[in-house]
Structure 1
Amino acid sequence: MAAIDDALAKSQALVGTEVGVSRWITVDQAMIDAFADITHDTQWIHVDPERAAAETPFGGTIAHGFLTLSLASRFAYDCFSMMPGQVMGINYGFNKLRFLSPVRAGSRLRGRFVLADVKKRNPTELLRENNLTIEIQGQDTPALVAQWLGLAVFGDPEG
């Protein structure tokens, strides 16, 4: 059996189950400021702690939604490794994405992945859909939920 077919069978057996929970990571003001600098999104709710404390219901600054989303890749590194025969993984996008709760500076986040679907796209690619929840430590409502698509690319099926 080709490596991709073996990976497909093993993955299909996991559909509907939790396949990974990442380590916690702290989103501090320095990380928020660095993200603001690199993206040129310097809205005061992210970068002005005094004003954010005085003028928002958050008690201080909050992380950019896209900063929270960008941490999904870091969380995936904690949870997934290459399958036998896989040569790379490619971010294929999102079907759905919702930001549910603001991430206050100093919060700790982690990713939780549930495999929702997997199918063979062609002789060298599996399309995997994971339901991702990015949790905020100590809060019931997560920062975001998403249906994240990824391609697992395998070597030449003939070789």
Structure 2
Amino acid sequence: MKRFEKLAELQALVGQQIGLSEWIEVDQRRIDQFADATGDHQWIHVDPVRAAAGPFKTTIAHGFLTLSLLPEMFASAFEVGDTRMGVNYGLNRVRFPAPVPVGSRLRGSFKLLAYEVLDGGAQLTIEVTMEREGSAKPVCVAESLTRRYV
């Protein structure tokens, strides 16, 4: 995990990678819990027998499940010492270039695209590229907007 003592340090790092998360395993239990929480029980996600005969030969994670791993990835990628609060401000773009088969391990790489000074903090535009262990193609690329307050 990278640590920055002050939020203002990030301003000079626009265009650079500012963190790399720990690996997160996406197992069937997590997929099933997400399906229960969202009501999305499509067979490709929750029926291993039917999915074995499907296009991916196994169940795959929901795209929105993959996206929902962002907070956990943020938490292990970097921290800012003088930040008292951070809020999710939204997303500009999200793409899911490749599926996430059950049992995959994912991690996120965080590149700072923009730093905008706010009263009491800053808005960060961060490109997150989620990779799947053993795959050359990312499983999610998202532009995340987060506001950090000191």
TM interval, short-chain normalised: over 0.9
Does residue 17 of structure 1 match 2:16? yes
8 Å contact kept, 1:60–1:105: yes
- 1:46 equivalent in structure 2: 45
Return the match for 1:94 from 70, 79, 91: 91
2:30 is the counterpart of 1:31: yes
- Determine if the alignment matches structure 1 residue 108 to structure 2 residue 105: yes
**Partner Cα distance (2:28, 2:7) in 1:** 41
Matched, 1:132 2:131: no
| SS of structure 1 residue aligned to 2:13 | coil
What is the CA-CA distance between 1:7 and the residue it aligns to? 2.8
Following TM superposition, by how much is the alpha carbon of 1:125 offset from its aligned partner in structure 2, in angstroms? Answer: 2.7
Equivalent in 141, 150, 153 of residue 149 of structure 2:
153
Superposed, which structure 2 residues align to 1:69-88 within 5 Å? Answer: 69-84=67-82, 86-88=83-85
2:140 aligned with 1:144, yes or no?
yes
Deviations 1:101-146 (A, max 9, x none): 110001110011011110112x213000111001000001111101
2:81 is matched by which residue type in structure 1?
M
Shift of the alpha carbon at 1:25?
1.0
Determine the structure 2 residue equivalent to 1:65.
Answer: 63
Q: Distance in 2 between matches of 1:113 and 1:150?
A: 12
SS at match of 1:11: helix
Identical-pair percentage:
48
Q: Which amino acid aligns with 1:104?
A: P
Instruction: Compute the displacement of 1:153 (Å).
Output: 1.4
- Unpaired runs of at least 5, structure 2: 1-5
* Paired residue total: 145
Unaligned runs of 5+ in 1: 1-5, 155-159
CA contact (8 A) 2:127 2:142 kept: yes
Q: Which residue type is aligned with residue 131 of structure 1?
A: E
Runs of 4 or more, structure 1, over 2 Å off, are none
SS at match of 2:31: helix
Give the structure with higher Rg (CA): 1
For residues 40 and 146 of structure 2, the distance between their equivalents in structure 1, rounded to whole angstroms, comes to 27
| CA displacement 1:77-98 (0-9 Å, x = unmatched) | 00122332x2100001111111
